[in-house]
Amino acid sequence: MRIERLLLRHVLKKVSRSFYLSLLILPSTVRQQVSLAYLFCRIADTIADTHFLPLHKRLEALGTFREQFLLTSPSLEQWHELQNAVLPYQGEEGERQLLFHLSDCFWILESFPSCDQQYIRELVLTLTRGMEMDLHHFPVETAAKVHALPDIHTLDLYIYYVAGVVGEFWTKIHIAHLPALRHCNADELCRLGINFGKGLQLTNILKDLAKDLHCGRCYLPQEQLAQLYVQVDELDKPEMLARIRPLICKLIWQTLEYLDDGYDYILRLPVRMGRLRLSCMWPLLFAVQTLEAIYTSDVLLQPQAQVKISRQAVYWTMFWSMWGLFVPAFFPVYYGRLRQRLITTLRWRDTLAS
């Protein structure tokens, strides 16, 4: 119990303050499972982002990590090899503690019921495929050579691997532990959960365009950029924003479709499950406002750009969303207003451009 408290509270808080806050409002019956799943995903992300290691070493370490979720009993020897390969390069205390307690994470996993173990294993095995895609498509970490995903299909597959599967896991683990959800159509709820996760990931991709370009990564598909007569290595020029605006707009509309499925997902959750509904409302409401900030930004491709909603908007969103717990009809009205404001902005700017 002591090591569980250390990992699932203190270490998790160090590696993700925002997600830690979201966990606090989750139903207690799923909090440990979701917390541990997040820590495993964070370990994989730490391995993939250890830039001091050569690419082939990171892929090898990520492969070793994935193997542990295919084994009936994870290998203690491989744990130590993995720790020795990655731990010395970690500067952040949270990541160091997380990797140091890798074996404890697997010990906690084995204490869960078999169905929970299976859900977490499926999540990690799928999500790490997305990280391997990242490493294969973006082998360097500098803007000296920027690589792009080849097409829309690859982008959609990538966002499923790294985020859609999270929505799927989230849905399955809650249905397994919350009797109130067992009357729901599990397949349909999983489909909506997948699209919800994909919408949140696409929002992050669009928001972080400049940051990713600086690191040699371009998630805008090369095929679609070529249709606009734009080369990937030209995207660091501010004047390119006007050229790629149609593609940004197209991806925002696609993202909004995914977020609408997230809205439908929330409406299907029982009204009495306020904590679960709220944990889904916040990222949805933040995302639709972030899309508006993305489209109205004139510095989206500049390295110093910080495209995000204001802290005041965050606080107001959290405040107004609470009303959705007491007056269920308020949430559809609130989301509808934010959505309509985004659509109006998209159409207004499109009219000006034409």
DSSP state of 26: S
CB atoms within 10 A of CB 45: 18
92 has a pLDDT exceeding 60? yes
Point out which residues pair with 147 in neighbouring strands. Answer: 217
- CA torsion sign, 159 to 160 to 163 to 167? positive
Are the beta carbons of 66 and 122 closer than 8 angstroms? no
Which tens digit of pLDDT belongs to each residue from 49-85? 887 888 888 899 899 889 889 887 766 677 777 777 7
H-helix or E-strand containing 147?
Answer: strand 147-148
pLDDT at 24: 75
Instruction: Tell me the pTM.
Output: 0.90
Place of tokens 């009936």: 72
pLDDT confidence bin for 353, thresholds 50/70/90: low
Which tens digit of pLDDT belongs to each residue from 137-192? 988 666 568 899 999 999 999 999 999 999 999 999 999 999 999 888 999 999 99
CA 225/CA 343 separation, integer angstroms: 24
Give Dmax over CA atoms of the chain in angstroms: 63
Angle 305-306-307 from CA coordinates, rounded to 5°: 105
Domains in the chain (CATH in brackets) are 1-113 (no CATH), 138-354 (1.10.600.10)
